[in-house]
Copies of this chain bind each other. A is one copy, B any other.
Amino acid sequence: MKKHNFGAGPGILPDIVFEKAAAATLNFNNSGLSILEISHRSKDFVAVMENAQNLVLDLTNLQNKGYKVLFLQGGASLQFVMVAANLLEKKAAYLNTGAWSNNAIKEAKYYGEIMEVASSKEQNFNHIPKNYNIPQDADYFHITSNNTIYGTQVKEFPKTNVPVVCDMSSDIFSKKTDYSYFSLIYAGAQKNLGAAGATLVIVKEDILGKVTRQIPNILNYRAHIDKESMYNTPSVFAVYVCMLNLEYIKNTGGIEPIEENNRKKAELLYGEIDRNPLFKGHAVPEDRSWMNATFNLNDESLKERFDSLVKEAGIVGLNGHRSVGGYRASMYNALPWESVQVLVEVMQQLEKIS
């Protein structure tokens, strides 16, 4: 049976990406070798890395604007440390919009003073705080663009002269964005980008080299830039999957059709959450995420019945995170509109039989 994968991540990617990745695992570029057994310094893999980097610059419209693209390891969690180690001299400003922001703050505190400019913690992170002040003397301002656990997403970024660092792990490439607003963007690959094990970093070079701290090479963006993202052996297969997916995005018309599709999926599902008397959303409507819709049953006694219907329909990965409970429908780029339609039908079916 066809599965409808609403998992929060590692998440769904286009079938063609899986097919090409599987083929390369057996025979990469007709070399007679698996992509798992080739040197990362081979001509063919260097081309993969360069292609992936150029596609990122292309899709973000950041060519010739002083940015470098890296594919590192360690996930967003290692970026929490690298951002602070490389950029934090005295103090930095962080917006606390959920568990991941909170972890970013905790890890950065090892390197300097952290000012939490605002937090929605008291409301279980059901909204994105607004109208906060970013101190002019902060080394940078850190923001998480999308909060998978709570289903909130930043719709408008604050005006500031302070360099902005963004954890874009769960919504990169999901809609048109002025990427040049950011000085540093990072994203674990395992949602909209590619396979777990690769971490994308897009960094404006002019923000580097301003801290007095000595930084070990492996944690130093400069060392990775100087070696063109091959300071050490990269996560070869995961980078290849990113490249395949970036190619797919480009070949299917870029970000615009993705945005249009994501908008339609979100409208369909949130429309049903609002209409159907059995359900309520967690996030406030204005901050609702297009990537992760969080919702609960008003009557918990219907849970078993709903879960059965969900399972029968081939829907997987719909369980909410324990911090919010209920359900979370992750609608990453590769999730078809038809899968959302199936979920909405199941919600309507529950209404009919209840």
Q: Are A75 and B77 interface neighbours, CB within 8 A?
A: no
Contact-size category for A: 35 or more
CB contact list, A206-261 vs B, under 8 A = 214-219, 231-238, 241
Give Cα A23–Cα B23 distance, bound, in whole angstroms.
Answer: 9
Q: Are A5 and B33 interface neighbours, CB within 8 A?
A: yes
A281 interface residue, CB < 8 Å from B?
Answer: no
Q: Are A33 and B235 interface neighbours, CB within 8 A?
A: no
A150 interface residue, CB < 8 Å from B?
Answer: no
Given contacts A195-B36, A236-B10, contact A77 B26 (CB under 8 A): no
Q: Are A197 and B33 interface neighbours, CB within 8 A?
A: no
Give Cα A22–Cα B13 distance, bound, in whole angstroms.
Answer: 16
Give Cα A256–Cα B150 distance, bound, in whole angstroms.
Answer: 52
Contacts of A233 in B (CB 8 A): 9-10, 75, 188, 190, 196
Which B residue sits closest to A217, measured CB to CB?
B107
Given contacts A3-B32, A238-B237, contact A77 B218 (CB under 8 A): yes
Q: Which DSSP category, helix, strand, loop or mixed, fits chain A's interface?
A: loop
Q: Are A107 and B216 interface neighbours, CB within 8 A?
A: yes
Residue in A11, A36, A74 with the greatest tally of chain B CB atoms within 10 Å: A36
Residue-wise interface mask of A (78-117) relative to B, using a CB-CB cutoff of 8 A (1 in contact, 0 not): 1011000000000000000000000100110010000000
Q: Are B238 and A78 interface neighbours, CB within 8 A?
A: no
- A74 interface neighbour in B188, B218, B238, Cβ under 8 Å: B218
Chain copies in complex: 2
Contacts of A23 in B (CB 8 A): 22
Question: Distance (Å) between the CB of A314 and the closest chain B CB?
Answer: 8
Give Cα A316–Cα B17 distance, bound, in whole angstroms.
Answer: 28
Q: Are A13 and B33 interface neighbours, CB within 8 A?
A: no
Q: Are A73 and B37 interface neighbours, CB within 8 A?
A: no
A12 interface residue, CB < 8 Å from B?
Answer: yes
Question: Distance (Å) between the CB of A83 and the closest chain B CB?
Answer: 11
- A80 interface neighbour in B13, B190, B216, Cβ under 8 Å: B216
Question: Distance (Å) between the CB of A267 and the closest chain B CB?
Answer: 24
The 4 closest A-B pairs by CB, nearest first: A197-B235, A22-B25, A197-B197, A77-B232
A120 interface residue, CB < 8 Å from B?
Answer: no
Contacts of A320 in B (CB 8 A): none
A157 interface residue, CB < 8 Å from B?
Answer: no
